[in-house]
Structure formats: structure tokens, C-alpha cells
């Protein structure tokens, strides 16, 4: 019985999601001065995400760094 229970608990474990905000996951674009749109699918899990209509805004203190990283990755993919 114990072996069976441990097998069931191991099979029920799911993939660990990164805790947001995570620089490896965060992606965003700047819309206007301080207005930054969040591109993360699980934005609802981030304490810096603000729901607005059908999208999310980023309020992270370093959101401009996230925007720059997103732009750099886009340019790199285009080359």
C-alpha cells in the first residue's frame, strides 16, 4: 500500500511553474512613458500585473529593463 501511495503522489506532481516576476519569463512592450503591456501568459500570478480589459499592464519597478530585454530578443530572432 505504501509503495502504491508514493507512486500516485509522484504521478500527480505537475511541472513547476516559475514564480513571477521572473526575468527569465517576463516579456513586455512599452505603450507610452510609464505604460507597459505584459506578455506573460500567467500574468494573473504576478503581483506586479494589473488587469485592464483583455490585457495586462506591468507595474514592476524594473519594467523598462524587461521591455529592453524583450526588444533585444526580438531583434536577435529576426537576424
Domain annotation covers residue 59: yes
Q: What pTM did the predictor assign?
A: 0.73
Q: According to the model, what pLDDT value does residue 19 have?
A: 86
Domain annotation covers residue 43: yes
Contacts of 47 (CB under 8 A, 6+ apart): 20, 21
Domain annotation covers residue 72: yes
Which residue range(s) make up the domain with 36? 19-78
C-alpha cell belonging to residue 40: 506573460
Domain annotation covers residue 9: no
* Each residue's pLDDT expressed in tens, for the chain with a length of 79 residues: 455 544 444 445 566 667 889 988 999 999 999 999 999 999 999 999 999 999 999 999 999 999 999 999 999 999 8
Distances (CA, A) of 33 to 39, 55, 65: 17, 18, 13
Domain annotation covers residue 13: no
Provide the number of structural domains found in the chain. 1
Q: According to the model, what pLDDT value does residue 13 have?
A: 57
Q: According to the model, what pLDDT value does residue 10 have?
A: 47
Phi, psi of 19 (to 5 degrees): -80, 130
Q: According to the model, what pLDDT value does residue 73 have?
A: 95
Amino acid at each position: 500500500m505504501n509503495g502504491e501511495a508514493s507512486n500516485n503522489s509522484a504521478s500527480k506532481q505537475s511541472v513547476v511553474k516559475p514564480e513571477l516576476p521572473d526575468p527569465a519569463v517576463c516579456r513586455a512592450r512599452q505603450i507610452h512613458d510609464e505604460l507597459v503591456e505584459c506578455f506573460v501568459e500567467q500574468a494573473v500570478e504576478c503581483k506586479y500585473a494589473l488587469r485592464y480589459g483583455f490585457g495586462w499592464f506591468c507595474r514592476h519597478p524594473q519594467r523598462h529593463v524587461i521591455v529592453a530585454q524583450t526588444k533585444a530578443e526580438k531583434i536577435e530572432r529576426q537576424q
